[in-house]
Each structure stands twice: as C-alpha cells, then as structure tokens.
C-alpha cells in the first residue's frame, strides 16, 4: 500500500447490512497501471485519485516510495480526465492539484462545498493540509480557505464533512494523540469552526484514519485493531469498534469505500496485486436473506365461498417445528410473516387445515424465497375444504389406496396398515363421524366360507382402527363375502369368467361406509 496519509479515503458502510448480505467485487473499468484509489462524488460527477503528471506529461515520482504522487481526476465512463474545477479568483483551474501529494476530498450533498487535501508550496516535504472552497451560481469555486487546524509541524488530512451534524472530521499526527494518525472532529457552520476534539474509542497506538459518518455511525480505517491483515475497515457503533469482516476486508489493505446507493459503490484494495498496487473495485451488496409474507385463502370446495375461522397449523418439514398457528378471518384470509429466509434456498411447509363440518386435511408445498414479495399459497397448493356429506368417498378425500388381502387370508398386510393409519388420523380429527367397515372376497371357494372370511377381514381392520381412536364404538364392521364383486368375475352358474389374478385381487377388499354410504378405499390399483 502506498503512502498511508494519502491513499486511504473515507469508509461508508453498515455493519448490520453486511450480516445479511454477500459482497460482489469487480475491478473498475477505469483502473490504470498505477495506484488508483479514493473514489468520491462532487455533485453528480465521480472523481478518483491516480498518478500525478507534470505539464510535460511525465509521471512525477516520490523519491522515497518510488511511486508517482497523486492527483484528482474526473471519471468519464471507463476513462479518467483532468479535474477541471474552475476558480472564481483566477478564472483558471482551482489549485486542487499541487506538484506533490493531493489527497482525499469531501463534498456536501449539493456539491457546492468542497474540502480537499494537498501540499501547498513548492517543497515535497511540506505537511499535508486541508482547505475548503465554495461554488458560486456560475459554477466557479472560491479561493481555498485553510482550516484552522493546519500546522507546518504536523499533517492534517482526510477530511469528511458530516453535513447532517455540521461537523468536519479529519485526521492528524499532531502531538497529544494516541499514536500515529488519529481522528478528530470539530463543528462547522459554513463559516466558523468549533473546538477540535478527539473521537473517542477509535484512536489507537497505530494509524486510525479516513473517517466517514453515516446514520450517526463513524466508519474508519485502522491497522492497530484486530485486523485480517494490513489495514481493515471498522465501524464505531454504540461506542463499540467492530471489524466489518472478511466480506470487505482481506489479508491485504482494504480502503476507500464510497456508496453510490444503499447497495452499490466503490472501494480500494491491493488484494488483486498481492499488495503492490491499489485498484478501485465496484462492489454490490447481494441480499442473502429476505422477509417473506405468505398469504393463505381458504374456500368451500363446492361453493367457492370464503371460509372464516379455519384453524391453520404450519409446520417446517425440515425440522418438524410448528412455525405458526392461527385462523382465517371473515374473508378466509390468513397472513404468515417469515423473517430472514435464505434467498434461493427452497423451503417445504405443511399446512394443517381444520374446520367444524368440513373434511380436515394436510397439504405440503415448496417455495423458494427470492425477494420480499408476497407469495399466494393458494396458487401453489389446493387449500379449499370439502364439506362433510353422506355422499363423500373417503378414499378421494384421504388419498387412500385399496386395502388388499392375500388369498384365503384375513391378516392385515403392511401396505394395508399404511392406509388404515390414514383413516385413524381422519377419525381422530372428526370425533363425530361413524364409520362402517365392509370387507369382501372374490368368488373362489364356497360362498358360506367366503362370508365368514370377509367377516374376519372386516374384524381385523376394525380392531386395528378401534385400538387407536377415541370413542372406538364409532367403528362397526360387516362381511359381505362374494355378494358385491367389484369386478364381475363369477365362479358359479352357466357362464364362468376368465378373470385374471389381479381382477380377483380387486374383489378382495375392505370398503368404508360413512353415515350409511358405502365408501371404498380402493383406487383400482
């Protein structure tokens, strides 16, 4: 990193912002082969510090650092041009660029008050000083006025004007400091300066410099606090100094941040050249998290009228945690607010919906947070509820598959247990429902034997459910034998069928009757 008094500029950032965002860095297209640093705006134009040139266009070199001195340049697209700030006094160019080091600038929002750093005088050993100038209605800058803190015995540099609080921040190695460069401030009403004071908590035995204030937080650069390497960017918040972290800082020198808006701007770093040359980088804060509002609208499945007082329970499938409980309003609406979700990471939620007189159901959906826009859950999954009626088919509502039995067996198979568990959930949610289980056989074997077999099949299914629900007397059962074949596969009489094994399997089933209606669990699979 080049001469510390010059190459650093103000830092502008927010510690809380970085905790929620990633940082993308791209080299600025106007970088040169020399040190480029300290971007800043004056009015609507962007400026940058880069290698100084004498009138003969030769690069002017510092004999100690073996690097060019610095001048202020205006950025135009991907090129830089000489800064042409007109002087009210001389009608020529404002003496903002000297023969030696010229450093950071700071302007107000209107761009008509400018503080700048340079070496006035003909000797490269002159101490750095701060001057300010005011622009008139013709666009001309007044004769520069030295701030009262300048002294030929020490450096005064790195101005930042906190317009909101009418305060000038600056950096100096004046006697009485904590060591190295320290940060000071003084009030400024446009004409007079108040008494300078050291900024508490930010000064150390090392170099603390380049103050910038935003939202009443002081941002600065230091090599004496807990750094990742070289100089790092810090913020003073609630009287506590915080490193802005590895998203902005590196093991090299990182400095000179300027925001164009809340999420974009420029910073300076020598990380790309392993510490040899400063470059300007464009940065963009990319949101890592966002807040999402999920809206639920529940309707009657038949009338499509809004359903009020539907109880909802929303579960995060990845953790099993209940995220929200609530009920729909008079318009069938429910709003779920979710904070700090990872952008681009899919989430799967399960919604449990219950309302008296309607079939309860659980539905799952997946959504991917992208931004803070509302998500209409009804557009992702069916939230409508079906009213309880005698003519409803239970397998359609619960998604039941057929309960099958092996030939000449009444034992419950593993696949049947899965389906009966769904019925158990349904019965425990609807404690007033009475259910009759009807079991059937195929036609093979004597009809009397098949009637007994179907009774045993119905009994085994009914006992399984009764043992797992409240008020088990709500369950009744009946065997129908071969009297109600699902697939016409007669075994007796003149005409014999040529039914396949799978056809006969469809006849060996258990059906459910809700309120006197026979409701099959079969889906013909």
378-430 pLDDT, tens digit each: 999 999 998 887 666 676 677 777 777 777 788 888 988 998 998 898 888 88
321-368 pLDDT, tens digit each: 999 999 999 999 999 999 888 888 999 999 999 998 888 889 999 999
> Given strand 37-42, what is the order of strands in its sheet?
37-42, 45-51, 70-76, 79-82
Instruction: Supply the pLDDT for residue 496.
Output: 66
307-319 pLDDT, tens digit each: 999 999 999 999 9
- Give the E-state strand segments of 270-427 in sequence order: 279-287, 289-297, 311-316, 322-327, 333-342, 347-354, 361-367, 375-376
Rounded Cα distance, 351 and 367, in Å: 13
> How many other C-beta atoms are found inside a 10 Å radius of the C-beta of residue 82?
12
Domains and CATH numbers, the chain: 4-287 (2.120.10), 290-379 (2.60.40.10), 394-520 (3.30.1330.60)
Average pLDDT, the chain: 85
Rounded Cα distance, 232 and 208, in Å: 10
45-80 pLDDT, tens digit each: 999 999 987 655 666 677 777 888 889 999 999 999
Rounded Cα distance, 323 and 48, in Å: 50
Instruction: Look up residue 177 and give its two tokens.
Output: 């400091």
Q: Which of 451, 440, 434 is nearest to 513 (CA)?
A: 434
Contact (Cβ atoms closer than 8 angstroms) between residue 463 and residue 510? no
Position 162 pLDDT exceeds 70: yes
Indicate the helix (H) or strand (E) that contains 311. Answer: strand 311-316
Grade residue 3 by pLDDT with cuts at 50, 70 and 90: very low
Q: Which of 227, 210, 248 is nearest to 13 (CA)?
A: 248
Instruction: Look up residue 128 and give its two tokens.
Output: 């750095």
Grade residue 517 by pLDDT with cuts at 50, 70 and 90: very low
Q: What SS3 class is residue 332?
A: coil
Rounded Cα distance, 392 and 409, in Å: 29
Of 135-139, 215-219, 444-448, which has the strongest mean pLDDT?
135-139
Per DSSP, 87 falls in state: B
Indicate the helix (H) or strand (E) that contains 465. Answer: helix 447-466
Burial of 229 (0-12, 13-18, 19+ CB in 10 A): middle
Torsional sign, CA 510, 511, 512, 515: negative
What is the β-pairing status of strands 435-439 and 475-479? parallel
Grade residue 519 by pLDDT with cuts at 50, 70 and 90: very low
Grade residue 493 by pLDDT with cuts at 50, 70 and 90: low
Instruction: Supply the pLDDT for residue 10.
Output: 29
Task: Give φ, ψ of 381 to 5 degrees.
Answer: -155, 155
Rounded Cα distance, 168 and 228, in Å: 29
> 300 has which bridge partners?
385
Instruction: Look up residue 507 and give its two tokens.
Output: 């006849």
């Amino acid at each position: 990193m080049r001469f510390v008094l010059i190459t650093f500029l103000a830092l502008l950032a927010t510690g809380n912002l970085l905790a929620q965002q990633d940082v993308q860095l791209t080299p600025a297209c106007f970088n040169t082969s020399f040190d480029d640093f300290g971007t800043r705006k004056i009015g609507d134009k962007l400026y940058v510090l880069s290698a100084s040139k004498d009138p003969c266009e030769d690069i002017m070199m510092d004999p100690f650092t073996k690097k060019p001195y610095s001048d202020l340049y205006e950025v135009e697209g991907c090129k830089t041009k000489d800064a042409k700030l007109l002087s009210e006094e001389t009608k020529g160019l404002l003496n903002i660029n000297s023969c030696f080091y010229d450093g950071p600038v700071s302007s107000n929002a209107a761009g008509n008050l400018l503080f700048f750093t340079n070496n006035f005088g003909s000797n490269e050993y002159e101490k750095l000083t701060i001057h300010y100038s005011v622009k008139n209605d013709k666009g001309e800058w007044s004769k520069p006025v030295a701030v009262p803190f300048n002294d030929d015995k020490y450096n005064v540099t790195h101005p930042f004007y906190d317009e909101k609080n009418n305060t000038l921040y600056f950096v100096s190695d004046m006697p009485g400091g904590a060591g190295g460069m320290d940060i000071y401030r003084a009030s400024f009403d446009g004409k007079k300066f108040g008494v300078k004071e050291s900024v508490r908590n930010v000064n150390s035995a090392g170099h603390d410099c380049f103050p910038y204030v935003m939202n009443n937080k002081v941002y600065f650069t230091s090599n004496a606090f807990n750094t990742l390497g070289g100089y790092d960017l810090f913020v003073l918040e609630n009287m506590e100094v915080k490193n802005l972290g590895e998203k902005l800082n590196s093991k090299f020198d990182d400095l000179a941040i300027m925001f164009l808006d809340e999420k974009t701007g420029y910073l300076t770093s020598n990380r790309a050249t392993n510490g040899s040359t400063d470059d300007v980088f464009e940065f963009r804060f990319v949101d890592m998290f966002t807040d999402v509002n999920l809206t639920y609208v529940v309707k009657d499945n038949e009338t499509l009228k809004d359903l009020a007082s539907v109880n909802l329970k929303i579960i995060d499938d990845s953790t099993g945690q209940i995220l929200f409980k609530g009920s729909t309003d008079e318009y069938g609406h429910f709003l779920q607010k979710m904070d700090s979700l990872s952008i681009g990471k899919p989430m799967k939620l399960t919604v449990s919906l219950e309302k008296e007189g309607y079939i309860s159901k659980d539905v799952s959906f997946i959504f991917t947070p992208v931004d803070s826009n509302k998500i209409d859950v009804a557009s992702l999954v069916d939230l409508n509820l079906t009213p309880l009626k005698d003519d409803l088919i239970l397998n359609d509502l619960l998604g039941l598959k057929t309960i099958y039995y092996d030939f000449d067996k009444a034992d419950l198979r593993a696949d049947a247990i899965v389906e009966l568990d769904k019925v158990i959930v349904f019965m425990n949610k609807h404690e007033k429902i009475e259910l009759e289980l009807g079991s059937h056989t195929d036609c093979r074997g004597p009809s009397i034997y098949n009637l007994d077999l179907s009774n045993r099949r119905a009994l085994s299914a009914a006992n399984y459910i009764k043992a797992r629900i409240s008020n088990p007397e709500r369950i009744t059962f009946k065997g129908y034998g071969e009297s109600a074949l699902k697939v016409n596969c007669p075994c007796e009489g003149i005409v014999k069928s040529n039914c396949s094994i799978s056809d006969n399997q469809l006849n060996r089933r258990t059906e459910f009757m809700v309120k006197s209606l026979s409701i099959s669990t079969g889906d013909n699979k």
